Structure 1
Amino acid sequence: MEFRYIYRGLGVGLLGGLLAFVFARIFAEPFIQDAIDYEAGRDAAQESLNAAASHGGHSHGAEAAEVFSRSVQRNVGIGVGMAIFGLAMGGLFVVAYLIVSRRYPGLRPRVLAALLAAAGFVSLYLIPFAKYPANPPAVGHEETIGERSVLYLAMIAISVISMVLAVLAARWLAGRVGGWNASLLGALVFLVLVGIAMGLLPALGHLGINKAEYGNVATETPQPLRAPDGTIVYPGFPADLLFRFRFYSVISQLVLWATLALGFGALAERLAASPARERPRPAAAEPGTMRSEAATTA
């Protein structure tokens, strides 16, 4: 029985990843290209400043060879990456569904799938995103990739643990204050825990190299590039571009989790009802056997 759920969970996760890719390819990808264009223009302006500072000398930095073309990256690369991510989330989702469904057999599969998808979206993505949002190219230094990755994974772990503790607290309180009040208190516990974590963990703008480069601004977003006399030679990263990229990133993830909630919920409902429809009827005994049994009883 579990394998029937697992196969469907992986399939729905794959579908969700592909749908999220289609959405991101249409709406988010143009802003990634804009960010790449900004980065190229800023690098050229910086190279001109460096050349002027070296009294007209020419600076020819060695550019890294491009392993995959931009066309491959924006189509095959992102598509495969999001499909694999969808499979992984589908696998985690179905495992959580099987565990919770055994503890709460009275919940309808559609309702349980919707609740788990909402909890997964909030704890695995939305809360970590609120603290450490996704960035397009040109935002963030390469030297801070390791620190940023550790901080983001730490925020995910804290968010998931906080969600589990909140659910346990709500379950413990349900018999004392009622189900609705217990749910509200559980949500409050979750918000307090993640709020404390967000306050304690450093902002990306406060990482060493960002603070050293941008000073009191303490940001990871590139500020205007200035000449030695203070003249702006290249603008800072456009705020509108950053907002749109992050907005569509959230919607892309929402597409994935909504697909898990709706698709897997519908399939799980059918699976839960199938044993009742497919239960074999008892075979009718042959007339000779019935007479033999009656004679033996007599």
Structure 2
Amino acid sequence: MNPVSPRTLLVRGMLAGLLAGAVAFLVAYLLGEAKVDAAIAIEEAGQAAASAHEHAADAAAAHSHGEEAPVSRALQATAGLGTGVLLYGVALGGIAALVYCYALGRIGRFGPRATAALVTTGLFVTVTLVPFFKYPANPPAVGDPDTAARRTALYLLMIALSALLAAGALILGRRLAPKLGNWNASVVAGLGFVLLVGISYAVLPGINEVPADFPAALIWEFRLASLAIQTALWTTFGLAFGFLAERALVPSAAPKEALQPAS
């Protein structure tokens, strides 16, 4: 393989992340926005009912939506959502490319595409699946605004713990490989990762702020849509970055010149 600077892979990772963000935006618009609209409708209905119960219609109007929102819901669901998801994809693509630079040649004799697949899968499990199963995404109207900072901190803490445990599992697997073999070492390291993640789940506090009257089906549909968005993002990135990385790392075959026999 050609020696390639990390900058080259970083740029290609960000380009792959941009493409992945575009695909994720399409999935989010098709699967997620309807769930968000439904949750917002439930939230607004609850606010209207509470305002009517207080017998202060004028004050309630000023309290809930007395001023028109500076950004319309239609703009939020299109340009706002698209901008956010694209920036998110580019950022994750750059981070994943840096991880790829470190992992290339250090996790086994894998080619550029196989390494990209392994790195992408590992990051998907670490930064998406593990935090999701402890602190799944919730639609609007679910969650106390006063605890938003605490919930965000716990979610980020879960991501950090997952990343540290994954790095520890990787180191453990490499150290055990000479004694146990690659397969057995990988199994032991993976089981250790799962065990420690389970302990983290048990130690960290849970969050249950779902209103009793909120439709359970809507919550799970929203969570499944969120997971589908992340799956589309990481899958697209892994395929695109694997292709771009291979183009950069593996030299293309030189064209063969046809040799004409001497007459």
Q: Secondary structure of the residue that 1:60 maps to in structure 2?
A: helix
* TM-score calculated relative to the size of structure 1: 0.79
Structure 2: segments with no counterpart, 5+ residues: 255-263
Aligned match for 2:23, one of 16, 19, 41: 19
Q: Secondary structure of the residue that 1:237 maps to in structure 2?
A: coil
Aligned match for 1:117, one of 97, 117, 120: 120
Q: Secondary structure of the residue that 1:28 maps to in structure 2?
A: helix
Structure 2 counterpart of 1:197: 200
**Conserved in 1, the CA contact under 8 Å of 2:35 and 2:218?**
yes
In the alignment, does 2:233 pair up with 1:256?
yes
**Conserved in 2, the CA contact under 8 Å of 1:47 and 1:59?**
no
Which whole-Å CA distance do the structure 2 matches of 1:104 and 1:184 have between them? 15
Q: Secondary structure of the residue that 1:103 maps to in structure 2?
A: coil
- Displacement of 1:270: 1.9
How do residues 235-274 of structure 1 correspond to structure 2 at under 5 angstroms? 236-274=213-251
In the alignment, does 2:52 pair up with 1:48?
yes
**Conserved in 2, the CA contact under 8 Å of 1:13 and 1:260?**
yes
In the alignment, does 2:157 pair up with 1:154?
yes
Aligned match for 1:106, one of 102, 109, 124: 109
Which whole-Å CA distance do the structure 2 matches of 1:136 and 1:104 have between them? 39
User: Residues 251-272 of structure 1, C-alpha deviation per residue, up to 9 Å, x if partnerless?
Assistant: 1101111112111111212222
- Displacement of 1:15: 0.7
One-letter amino acid of the counterpart of residue 41, structure 1? A
Structure 2 counterpart of 1:63: 64
Change in Cα spacing, 1:105 to 1:182, as seen in structure 2 (3 Å) is closer
- Displacement of 1:158: 0.3
- Displacement of 1:105: 7.2
How do residues 118-133 of structure 1 correspond to structure 2 at under 5 angstroms? 118-133=121-136
In the alignment, does 2:211 pair up with 1:222?
yes
Q: Secondary structure of the residue that 1:140 maps to in structure 2?
A: coil
RMSD of Structure 2 on Structure 1 (CA): 1.5
Identity %: 38
**Conserved in 2, the CA contact under 8 Å of 1:50 and 1:59?**
no
Which whole-Å CA distance do the structure 1 matches of 2:41 and 2:108 have between them? 54
Q: Secondary structure of the residue that 1:203 maps to in structure 2?
A: coil
- Displacement of 1:106: 2.9
Structure 1: segments with no counterpart, 5+ residues: 52-56, 206-219, 224-235, 279-298
Aligned match for 2:38, one of 19, 34, 40: 34
Which whole-Å CA distance do the structure 2 matches of 1:271 and 1:203 have between them? 45
**Conserved in 1, the CA contact under 8 Å of 2:139 and 2:219?**
yes
- Displacement of 1:178: 1.3
Structure 2 counterpart of 1:5: 9
Count of equivalent residues? 246
Q: Secondary structure of the residue that 2:64 maps to in structure 1?
A: coil
User: Residues 118-164 of structure 1, C-alpha deviation per residue, up to 9 Å, x if partnerless?
Assistant: 11011011111111111110000111111001101100000100110
Structure 2 counterpart of 1:165: 168
**Conserved in 1, the CA contact under 8 Å of 2:162 and 2:197?**
yes
Which whole-Å CA distance do the structure 2 matches of 1:98 and 1:15 have between them? 20
Q: Secondary structure of the residue that 2:218 maps to in structure 1?
A: helix
Q: Of the two, which has the highest radius of gyration?
A: 1
Which whole-Å CA distance do the structure 2 matches of 1:102 and 1:126 have between them? 26
One-letter amino acid of the counterpart of residue 38, structure 1? I
Which whole-Å CA distance do the structure 1 matches of 2:50 and 2:98 have between them? 50
